[in-house]
Amino acid sequence: MKLRANLVIGGALFALAILVGLLAPWLAHTDPVMDANLLNAEEPPSWTWWFGTDGQGRDIYSRVVYGARISLTVGIVSQLINSVIGVGLGLSAGYFGGWWDDVVNALTNLMLAIPSLIFALAIMAVLGPGLTSLLIALGLTNWSFTCRLARASALSLRNQGYVQAATVLGYGDLRIMITQLLPNMLGPIVVIGTLGMGSAVLSEAALSFLGLGVRPPFPSWGSMLSEARDQITTAPWLSVFPGLAIFLTVLGLNLLGDGLRDILDPQSRSRRT
């Protein structure tokens, strides 16, 4: 199998982001919240301050490094919630059909009709800002594509010989869904999940930028952008570096999703031995 460039570059960018988040305490030069020092306020990037400092003299490099933790946690956890909801609803709807399918379809159409960010915004408005609210808001609003995909896959898979064979062998519905249907639709679900993670990172940035995300002293890339917007002309490095971090992470996730789509494609899978 040929290694594809999108898979390698995307995987490397995503792995780098995760590594930075995991190793933040060792990579950071200063404490991202506590080490404010007005004597160093608004220093441009230099050998001492790699990414410059902000108005309170905090090291932007250290804040970007720690920011990876929050941004990635939100991206990964909220997408996992979406995947579980989407697969659970779509798989069961496609498998059982009937009134349950109608209910799930109506729900999915509703979710598709309302832009997910607006929906998340409404949930945040009710729950108030903070990390948990973010996870809930983003985790509940972006499962419709996964759901559609899982439903369509279940619809076609349930007529496969091995699904009927499992019924004949006495498998129950749950066992059929978990052992026969789920593994056979996992490839495309993972692809959608990877792409969804990218958009969750972006949504986190957007919500935090609007002041609804993680609360200020703690750095997420979105909240850093939000704080930096007044100084965009005087101290552009305050926006550039967190912006670059978002860009590279989302780019990486999208490339990774594309690359996975290529190798997980069911046709190329069956050709492989």
183 is a contact residue toward another protein (CB under 8 A): yes
168 is a contact residue toward another protein (CB under 8 A): yes
Token pair of 51 as six digits: 């990414």
For another protein, the binding residues in 93-112 under the rule CB under 8 A are: none
Count of residues interacting with another protein (CB under 8 A): 20
172 is a contact residue toward another protein (CB under 8 A): yes
Considering only the stretches 72-80, 157-165, 223-231, 232-240, report the one whose residues sit in contact with another protein under the rule CB under 8 A: 157-165
Please give the Cα distance from 187 to 267 (Å, whole number).
11
Compute how many other C-beta atoms are within 10 angstroms of the C-beta atom of residue 176: 20
- Shortest distance in whole angstroms from residue 154 CB to another protein: 14
184 is a contact residue toward another protein (CB under 8 A): yes
Please give the Cα distance from 66 to 134 (Å, whole number).
17
Please give the Cα distance from 172 to 190 (Å, whole number).
26
DSSP labels, 89-132: HHHHHHHH-HHHHHHHHHHHHHHHHS-HHHHHHHHHHHH-SSHH
180 is a contact residue toward another protein (CB under 8 A): yes
Which residue of 8, 156, 162, 247 would you call a contact of another protein, by CB under 8 A?
A: 162
Residue number with CB closer to another protein (107 or 186): 186
- Shortest distance in whole angstroms from residue 183 CB to another protein: 4
175 is a contact residue toward another protein (CB under 8 A): yes
Residues 6+ away with beta carbon under 8 Å from 258: 6, 7, 10
Which residue of 50, 100, 171, 218 would you call a contact of another protein, by CB under 8 A?
A: 171
